[in-house]
Structure 1
């Protein structure tokens, strides 16, 4: 997504941050404690629009005008879900046709029908996800975590809660809910593998991000220790960002819609209405409860 700021009293407090240079030579900055993406700089700054304090009196601070690089995902990502916000059409911005860096994995590491690869931008955090096993499907532990639509896939949903917004630097994040013992290599208690770092955002909640490139990786909650939320942004599904060959989406609503509607009503309405249409067209359920 791309947005344009209207009049805004810019003021920055000191940040404890780190910097990663990605393949396009853009330096990206993120909080070294919680992993929140602050923005990036090549010749000009690109600032995350989701880390600013805002309320209903601040409507109009950000004017969303385009989906950036939707063709980098074969399924179009969010550009396939909604194409306007508050009645204003969104362009698709391919950055002037500039060639994108090749971040494809070696063939032997790519996803297949039995394993889904997850890997952050720098490769410091890398693992595979297996499909729900027959043992898991038959066990009481699977109750609520699989859909009758297709038990060979994991549940997924969009999330617009304030906490996720402030620790990812995005207005919306997508999660896939996976049984921990279906992830290889086996995860330690703190979920930190490779270059991962952890952050306790609230009591009993552990969030994990790559300490080198800042990518969001995991969310876990002590009340459901056998399930881990995997950030869908690091999934290397060949079909695209929605990873439909592996996921059953809750299309009718994101998690914590009241937070998203308070922070940016136009964006959240477009997401909610777009997901309802997209899900109905693609055969995803409108509703299920996440245990």
Structure 2
């Protein structure tokens, strides 16, 4: 006799949050939507969120000593749901709508992806028009031979688009800010002294020294500290940020998490947005979560960023975890770069 339910197990990077969900087999696969609205991008720091609505009556069953006490909830003024993220490592686990008793869960933190490809179905892009360039929806159109529908519901009371205005729309400085505003800083263009330095030869493209390098990252560590299948990183010298972060990379409401002995990450302790990544062998360069950027041209910030479109970082992790999405992203990035005549490839030290 086969079970009528399937138990799925989830965990954040630091393992402070671990839980299972018990899903009826008849409800599988769970439909995953990629939400591109500015609220999701700025609460996560990622190109979009990866969420699946759980069937009615299904909710996380925390594995002791894990529990809601290990999570921080964030609910902004017009929200119907509360977003939860690990208070220690910042990993988003999903949203809870208490009036309906519904959980919308982050699919990227479940172990089921590695062994069972019938659990999730990448189904839709929500609010792909929230940024002028479409963001990640312009890169990924089909996953596991299923075409992702473009959907823009009209029920939000808060604007879901991100259109910088006034001093935000500045060609010399780019604003990076989390959703709650607790973390906010500006990024400058590459300065002449840096361009002429040995570091400039490493961290700038010889084809365009007005832009910073960036890549999409599929590594397991990033997935489990963000709660998403992919994150975009932009590489900038610390001295090109204003205000300058403290030696431990803290700005405003940010909090630090050391994911390994040599790697320091920060996230907003209020809304959970990923902010920085820094490693010991290149302390002068900080990786900035691209989902924080408020670029007028769109979520890919092409006026400021030169993307490594030829390949993603840590593709082996992504392909092992969820091959369908990772292949779609890798191939989509190549096509996107080719269409722009910018099929860039470079080494990230």
- Normalization by structure 2: what TM-score? 0.79
The verdict on how the C-alpha distance between 1:106 and 1:74 changes in structure 2, with shifts beyond 3 A counting, is closer
SS in 2 for 1:224: coil
The verdict on how the C-alpha distance between 1:108 and 1:166 changes in structure 2, with shifts beyond 3 A counting, is same
Whether 1:233 aligns to 2:291 is yes
**Equivalent residue pairs, number:** 290
SS in 2 for 1:40: strand
Q: Tell me, yes or no, if the aligned pair for 2:96 and 2:104 is still in contact at 8 Å.
A: yes
Whether 1:84 aligns to 2:142 is yes
SS in 2 for 1:248: strand
The whole-number CA distance in structure 1 between the counterparts of 2:340 and 2:195 is 24
User: What does residue 169 of structure 1 align with?
Assistant: 227
The whole-number CA distance in structure 1 between the counterparts of 2:77 and 2:219 is 30
Q: Tell me, yes or no, if the aligned pair for 1:159 and 1:255 is still in contact at 8 Å.
A: yes
The whole-number CA distance in structure 2 between the counterparts of 1:23 and 1:144 is 44
Q: Which has the larger radius of gyration?
A: 2
Which of 10, 28, 34 aligns to 2:83? It is 28
User: What does residue 101 of structure 1 align with?
Assistant: 158
SS in 1 for 2:264: strand
The whole-number CA distance in structure 2 between the counterparts of 1:3 and 1:114 is 35
Q: Tell me, yes or no, if the aligned pair for 2:263 and 2:279 is still in contact at 8 Å.
A: yes
Q: Tell me, yes or no, if the aligned pair for 1:4 and 1:64 is still in contact at 8 Å.
A: no
Q: After superposition, give the CA deviation of every residue in 1:131-155 in whole Å (9 maximum; x if it has no partner).
A: 0011110011212200122110000
State which drifts further: 180-189 or 10-19: 10-19
User: What does residue 262 of structure 2 align with?
Assistant: 204
Cα RMSD for the two superposed structures: 2.1
- The alpha-carbon deviation at position 284 of structure 1 amounts to 2.2
The whole-number CA distance in structure 1 between the counterparts of 2:224 and 2:281 is 22
User: What does residue 92 of structure 2 align with?
Assistant: 37
User: What does residue 275 of structure 2 align with?
Assistant: 217
User: What does residue 288 of structure 1 align with?
Assistant: 346
The verdict on how the C-alpha distance between 1:81 and 1:100 changes in structure 2, with shifts beyond 3 A counting, is farther
SS in 2 for 1:78: helix
Which of 240, 249, 254 aligns to 1:182? It is 240
Q: Tell me, yes or no, if the aligned pair for 2:53 and 2:103 is still in contact at 8 Å.
A: no
Which of 90, 103, 109 aligns to 1:51? It is 109
The verdict on how the C-alpha distance between 1:4 and 1:37 changes in structure 2, with shifts beyond 3 A counting, is closer
Give structure 2 stretches of 5+ with no counterpart. 1-33, 35-49
